[in-house]
Structure 1
């Protein structure tokens, strides 16, 4: 079988290459992928979890966590972001950021998120684009709430996120430098927010993060804070947006599951986990081997590029019975759509699941005859399994 797991045109037309991934899991689960530079493609659940939980062997910092190669100068700046750090530095940073994401803080948002969903759905009538009118605004409103930013800033945040994530998609990026330009705009925005909160503290995550930690007395530096806001703008937006739109598409493609949800909106909790498993909004992350090691029977050399594919691991039949079946009642559901554990398990996983649960519960109750009216358009990206447009009729 011809293997190319990073062909962006394939993702734009068909999504992740599940047929290739299925073959690799069965025949060559840690596969030497001939690319420039070549890399090890890790496709089985067990191996993805192993890589995720051994930051000492598989570094996020050496060559960063994203797939594409960048210059050492770019790496130096990006290593200030948690995504591109290893313990113990990552542990220190995460302990500071965790202050804004406690279960109590997230749980307190449920009614607010329900109000946001109702407000968005109130504005939908007749024909609509599910992505731009429902799936995208929801996490943007929530991010504005977390940052204490005006809701009117959501369009700016949407634009920045699209330009950074969609650098290979002609609808979002007009040049290779667009992503960097958008990042600089986010840095400036974060600086303004921090300055405002220093002058006028409020009960929001920005104020918490710029204040010294109660136990250690440590605080985030200016660059550290700016890069955290950048991470929140992308990770807090893209994953929920694309899980919601991909989940809605999955429900259209499996109408019997939509009818189950309509009949019992209480299934929205297990449905949100199954949607994350099925969609796997983040398709892959890159690690770099810090020493010679063995993975899945393959000899990995120090410095080798190792890429974990969550969209493959989440359909591993050794872990998920009937893995190719979309089942909104699936329980247990040990998916790794928020990462395979270890240091980089998604900080905002509880928030994302809360947003998805509330959204699909409200959709099932309010629009039981919701239907798709046109073809979904996918993002040209091998990193984010994204949907740009999903025409629907609310009903």
Structure 2
């Protein structure tokens, strides 16, 4: 297997890279020459006290890592592929209390409890309320004439959905937005968020959620929070577990969906034929293609629990393994012309919600519902929406984020 012709020192988790683009050409090089490739790093730069990680680029290999938690652990070094270099081991260990960073059987126990809030029946119960909210969000933005699509539209429905789901007063959604932004923005100097500010935001959100859980234990209501925490036994969450679950929702259920909606709008406006098709026919396949195209989470990681082999590479116990969804979702072995935004693409076995296995996204149905409702409302009320500037990207090592997208609301 040949060595890829990458610039010396290139790092697939360098936030400076993602501030400008997702490195799709470089991923393509790896898929063709070294699909599982060792990415050396300066010692400790990712916060783990090591010298690099494996880059997994092919669709089939990302799925293999995702579905073998006994070989590839989400818990040992967490699922987050890069922290700030100043992150301490104790700070990383706190992250392991989040479901995203658990392995079976503890992950299985927590997931079985929280999935009560994401049953088809639970999602259907939200649909009418969210449809009305999507319409009001779009109408309020249209009245402005021009604005930032991210703050005016894309962030609003995911936040309101979380508030609706867990019974948070809608007036508090701005606080959740602020907390979630601070938690993921430590790589972006423009946002002036230090590691300490991000940690404090996480603690404030957890405390807020724990207080909500305590109130529901004291006086249960007919909502998902009460069903999750009403009795602290093997079948329910403790207040602290609920707090970390809400923290996960604030990032996994807010940041990712809002970025999918933003990237989707930008894709439509730079592919006007697809926007015309969507307005005319509303294909059911559109939301899945938006997620594939956006791939809001560029990568997560696992840690090898023993020596193993993957894609011709010999991986040693304890080494980190990056599973790059952005590469897998552009694998030409799986997708015909992956570089084309095609809202009629079917089948579409993208890994935008994960590669399967125990960590497949619990909120997929809710995310697809939000994307559908948002673009239906946009197509109805703003058929002539247009770009007023280029997107300003988030500087992040693992999120394909957009900070601002200026538009004319047509």
Deviation at 1:171, TM superposition (A): 3.6
Partner of 2:310: 295
Q: Which residue of 1 aligns with 2:148?
A: 129
Unpaired runs of 5+ in structure 1? none
- Of the three residues 86, 100, 103, the one matched with 1:83 is 100
1:314 maps to which of 325, 329, 343: 329
Q: In structure 2, what is the Cα distance between the partners aligned to 1:289 and 1:62?
A: 9
The CA distance in 2 between the partners of 1:311 and 1:174, in whole Å, is 26
Q: Is the 8 A contact 1:162 1:172 kept in 2?
A: no
Shift of 1:366: 1.8
Distance in 2, Cα, partners of 1:124 & 1:230: 28
Whether 1:46 aligns to 2:53 is no
Matches within 5 A, 1:170-249: 170-212=189-231, 217-249=234-266
Measured in 2, the distance between the counterparts of 1:77 and 1:174 equals 20
Give, in whole Å, the separation in 2 of the partners of 1:333 and 1:105: 25
Instruction: Identify the residue that residue 34 of structure 2 maps to in structure 1.
Output: 28
In structure 1, what is the Cα distance between the partners aligned to 2:191 and 2:121?
Answer: 36
Q: What is the CA–CA distance in structure 2 between the aligned matches of 1:365 and 1:118, rounded to whole Å?
A: 9
Measure how far apart 1:75 and its partner are. Answer: 3.7
* Aligned partner of 1:164 among 174, 183, 191: 183
CA contact (8 A) 2:220 2:226 kept: yes
Contact residue 163 and residue 173 of structure 1 kept, 8 A: no
Mapped to 2, the partners of 1:27 and 1:211 lie a distance apart of 54
Cα displacement (A) at 1:202 = 1.7
Distance 1:172 1:195 in 2: 33
Select between 339-348 and 218-227 the one with higher mean Cα deviation.
218-227
- Whether the 8 Å CA contact 2:325–2:352 is kept in 1: the answer is yes
Residue 292 of structure 2 corresponds to 277
188-197 or 38-47, larger mean C-alpha shift: 188-197
Shift of 1:217: 5.0
Aligned equivalents of 1:201 and 1:145: distance in 2? 16
- 3-state SS, counterpart of residue 193 of structure 1: helix
Moved more, 95-104 or 70-79: 70-79
Q: CA deviation at 1:192?
A: 1.5
Aligned mates of 2:33, 2:273 — CA distance in 1: 33
Aligned to 1:12: 19
Q: Deviations over 1:199-254 (max 9, x none)?
A: 322222211110249xx853212321111111111111011100000111111111
Q: 1:149 aligns with which of 162, 168, 174?
A: 168
Question: Quick one: distance in 1 between partners of 2:124 and 2:351?
Answer: 22
Q: How far did 1:107 drift?
A: 1.6
2:291 aligns to what SS in structure 1? helix
- What's the secondary structure of 1:124's corresponding residue? helix
Q: 2:99·2:107 contact (CA, 8 Å) conserved in 1?
A: yes
- In the alignment, what sits opposite 2:48? none
What is the aligned counterpart of 2:78 among 64, 72, 79?
Answer: 64
Q: 5 Å matches for 1:328-367?
A: 328-367=343-382
State whether residues 126 and 164 of structure 2, in contact with CA within 8 Å, keep that contact through their aligned partners in structure 1.
Answer: no
Instruction: Note the residue ranges of structure 2 that are not aligned, 5 or more in a row.
Output: 43-50
Distance 2:295 2:79 in 1: 17
Total equivalences in the alignment:
390
Q: How far is 1:72 from its partner?
A: 3.4
Shift of 1:176: 2.2
Kept in 2, the 8 Å contact 1:45–1:314? The answer is yes
- Does structure 1 retain, via aligned residues, the 8 Å contact 2:38–2:53? yes
How far apart are the structure 2 equivalents of 1:263 and 1:101? 31
Alpha-carbon shift at residue 78 of structure 1 (Å): 2.1
Cα separation, 2, equivalents of 1:288 and 1:13: 28
What secondary structure is seen at the aligned counterpart in 1 of 2:296?
A: coil
